[in-house]
Amino acid sequence: MICSLDELRRKEVIDLKTGERLGFIDDIEVDIKSGAAERFIIYGGARFFGIFGKEDDVTVKCSDIRVVGREVILVERSDGNIDTLSPKNDG
């Protein structure tokens, strides 16, 4: 099955171990040398209308994806923890 990034962005990502809804895919990390997708990035949501900043971004390794369905992507992360990318500090 081949999916475009546009198609993947419409699917909700759910962790199989915890049942947690991680969100929707917003971006992708690609290995420039091989051209292979490495990770999908789910941007963190705003906290209290953006007044208190935003939550950390969540990354999902492509190797952790178990099922790509019509409406959801089921992942089983090997370490059981959420990989997060902290928001960049501009100052």
Model pTM? 0.73
CA distance 89 to 27: 20
- Low-confidence stretches of the chain (pLDDT < 70) are 1, 50, 79-91
What is the reported pLDDT for 83?
A: 54
Of 87, 33, 84, 24, the C-alpha closest to 59 is: 84
